[in-house]
Amino acid sequence: MEIRRGIPVSPGIAIGEAFVLDSEDSPITRRVIEEHGIRAELDRFSAACDQAIAEIFESVKKLPKSLHGEVAPIIESHAKILQDKSLQLQITSGIEKNRHNAEYEVSRVFRSFVKRLQATGNQMFENRVVDLLDIERRLIRNLLNEKRSEIATRGKDLIIIAHDLTPSQTLALDKEKVIGFATDAGGPTSHTAILAKAMEIPAVVGLESITSAISGGDVLIIDGTEGTIIVDPDEDTLKNYRALERNRLSYEQRITLELRDLPARTLDGHEVRLLANIEFPEEVKLALQHGASGIGLYRSEFLFLRPGPPPAEREHLEAYRKSLSLLGDRDLTVRTLDLGADKLESDGPTKEKNPFLGCRGIRLCLQRPDLFRPQLRALLRASAYGDIRIMFPMVSSLEEIRSARAVVEQIKHELRREGAPFNDHVKIGIMVEVPSAALLADILVRESDFFSIGTNDLVQYTMAVDRANERIAALFQPAAPAVLRLVKYVIEEGERSKKPVCMCGEMSGDVTYTLLLLGLGLKEFSMSPPSIADVKMVIRSVTMKEAREIAHKALTFTEAGKVVEFLRERTRKIIPEAF
């Protein structure tokens, strides 16, 4: 039995069998193939190679005419490399002689070429190295896709072990079979962590080397509350964890049921709104079961993460109308596309060196009217059916709000001409998640109907801490005094202009910060549905006077750790079982 510690990102306990997903960035594991399995391994390699060549020719066909002359020869040269007989022979003889799995031999042969080219120190070979790594990745992806589909043939209760999972990979997991996951990489607010929480699957990230420590088929316990993973547990440990999970579930169910229909009102009568963050229309039901008063953040980019072309206006409209009909007269705030290389498997033309500082959020929306306009048309058309609000992500300047609003006005004009009904007064707000936006809150508030503070990104950009990097996860601190000053300022400016301010980052659903945010004057909290009951319990157990006094004191600390210590101590005094 072995215990490993990582970052807890989605609570609960899962007991199951490991299913190890290699990823293109992780070390490929070496497996020794049985004598009788060599033929099948050679066939796998040859199928992956054929598929890669077919994909290359397919992508050449799809190139716009203007790029054909320049780009097609580069892509086609990749196919030529794959067709090279001596290269194929090196890989197949490795499989035959060494009895290694195909991924391992592909990686070994390609990496040895790369090493040789790099050793020459010749700059001219730099592009060649990039090409070789690209081809290697394509081949391995094809080999692993085949392996991923093995999930379909496996039994239930699988725990996915991966180097990292992109949101699109997480979504592709079979939810009937996957009961938990653990990754080497990732931080507390990485998008995969957020998804795990929304899917109510226990997850631990940032385990650093879990993929090399675990083999497929190992029995595992994942404790997503404590952030531990237990490999090969003994009988007593299994029994204890099963009991722990039963207790946790019955506690959660009890408080959710008890509190669901009660208002989020302090002991002295101040009421706030608790809303839910969702990624799919189907989650509205879950949100309502947990007592959400509306949807404060619909991450619409997940509409774009399924395979196939980007969603058309009709598909957007269907999703928004479906959510509105499930919500009745409750409000739905839809964030326009916040896609960037951080949410995609970075590959091909979307690859950016620094995706978090790249073309994401409103920047991408403004550069890609082909994606943005159908979404806005659908949002406006949906506004005829319910209380829908439009929110722009990653705003960093007033110009961006103006440009985005101008597109909305053009579309309103079109819809009027077409005679399509819409709400002319639909509310348009922004995410405040870039420090420049927070610092300009007094100016941006004049052209926004509401603010929603996205602390996941606000912490990342204020502290210069990549939210998905496990090596610096300890530096990702929502309680950092610099962040708290920004949050306070945004809430105050909203209050001054009588514009609603919500918070939809993970900080909002973490009970450590409930008293602080309440005391700072936050009136709308949006969070993953399972957190609603816990936050409501804290709010219903305190007076506003007390919360203000706590917030005031918290702001006097000069270190994040001290703030957290103080807030936890005060919360524990009010609700002893809080932590």
- Which stretches of the chain bind ligand PEP, using CB under 6 A? 194, 297, 299, 338, 433, 454-457, 504-505
Residue span binding Mg ion (CB under 5 A) among the ranges 272-280, 442-450, 453-461, 492-500? 453-461
124/464 with CB nearer ligand PEP: 464
Residue 470 binding result from Mg ion, ligand PEP, none, given CB thresholds of 5 to 8 Å by partner type: none
Strands of 197-308 (E only): list them: 203-205, 219-223, 228-231, 273-278, 295-299
Q: Is 301 in the site for Mg ion (CB under 5 A)?
A: no
| Closest separation in Å from C-beta 374 to ligand PEP | 21
Are the CB atoms for 478 and 504 separated by under 8 Å? no
In degrees rounded to 5, what are phi and psi of residue 425?
-105, 20
294/505 with CB nearer ligand PEP: 505
Are the CB atoms for 326 and 285 separated by under 8 Å? yes
Q: How far is CA 284 from the centre of its chain?
A: 18
| Closest separation in Å from C-beta 433 to ligand PEP | 4
Residue 455 binding result from ligand PEP, Mg ion, none, given CB thresholds of 5 to 8 Å by partner type: ligand PEP
Q: In this chain, which of 167, 291, 374, 454 binds Mg ion, going by CB under 5 A? A: 454
396/455 with CB nearer ligand PEP: 455
Residue 326 binding result from Mg ion, ligand PEP, none, given CB thresholds of 5 to 8 Å by partner type: none
Q: In this chain, which of 103, 457, 470, 510 binds Mg ion, going by CB under 5 A? A: 457
Q: Is 184 in the site for Mg ion (CB under 5 A)?
A: no
Which candidate, 524, 532, 535, 518, places its Cα nearest to that of 502?
Answer: 524
290/299 with CB nearer ligand PEP: 299
Helix, strand, coil content of the chain in percent (nearest 5): 55, 15, 30
102/297 with CB nearer ligand PEP: 297
In degrees rounded to 5, what are phi and psi of residue 275?
-115, 170
422/476 with CB nearer ligand PEP: 476
Q: Which helix (H) or strand (E) holds 158?
A: strand 158-162
54/357 with CB nearer ligand PEP: 357
Residue 345 binding result from Mg ion, ligand PEP, none, given CB thresholds of 5 to 8 Å by partner type: none
Alpha helices (runs of H) in 149-234, residue ranges in sequence order: 167-172, 191-198, 210-213
Q: In this chain, which of 136, 245, 433, 534 binds Mg ion, going by CB under 5 A? A: 433
Joined together, the tokens standing for residue 552 give 């005031």
| Closest separation in Å from C-beta 94 to ligand PEP | 43
Q: Is 187 in the site for Mg ion (CB under 5 A)?
A: no
| Closest separation in Å from C-beta 35 to Mg ion | 52
- Cα separation, 269 vs 502, whole angstroms: 20
| Closest separation in Å from C-beta 83 to ligand PEP | 42
Residue span binding Mg ion (CB under 5 A) among the ranges 219-227, 287-295, 319-327, 431-439? 431-439
Read out DSSP for 374-414? HHHHHHHHHTTTS-EEEEESS--SHHHHHHHHHHHHHHHHH
| Closest separation in Å from C-beta 459 to Mg ion | 10
- Cα separation, 3 vs 221, whole angstroms: 9
| Closest separation in Å from C-beta 343 to ligand PEP | 8
Which candidate, 225, 187, 222, 193, places its Cα nearest to that of 208?
Answer: 187
7-10 vs 203-205, strand pairing mode: antiparallel
Q: Is 245 in the site for Mg ion (CB under 5 A)?
A: no
Residue 299 binding result from ligand PEP, Mg ion, none, given CB thresholds of 5 to 8 Å by partner type: ligand PEP
Q: CB neighbours of 50 closer than 8 A, spacing ≥ 6? A: none
166/455 with CB nearer ligand PEP: 455
Q: How far is CA 148 from the centre of its chain?
A: 20
Q: Is 291 in the site for Mg ion (CB under 5 A)?
A: no
- Cα separation, 514 vs 492, whole angstroms: 17
| Closest separation in Å from C-beta 338 to ligand PEP | 6
Which candidate, 279, 342, 269, places its Cα nearest to that of 306?
Answer: 279
In degrees rounded to 5, what are phi and psi of residue 3?
-110, 130
Residue 519 binding result from ligand PEP, Mg ion, none, given CB thresholds of 5 to 8 Å by partner type: none
191 is an active site residue = yes
- Cα separation, 194 vs 139, whole angstroms: 30
- Cα separation, 197 vs 325, whole angstroms: 24
Total of chain residues touching Mg ion, rule CB under 5 A: 3
335/427 with CB nearer ligand PEP: 335
What residue is closest to Mg ion based on CB? 457
425 is an active site residue = no
Which of 191, 316, 365, 502 is catalytic? The answer is: 191
Residue span binding Mg ion (CB under 5 A) among the ranges 200-208, 305-313, 452-460, 542-550? 452-460
Binding residues (CB under 5 A) for Mg ion: these are 433, 454, 457
Active-site residue set = 191, 504
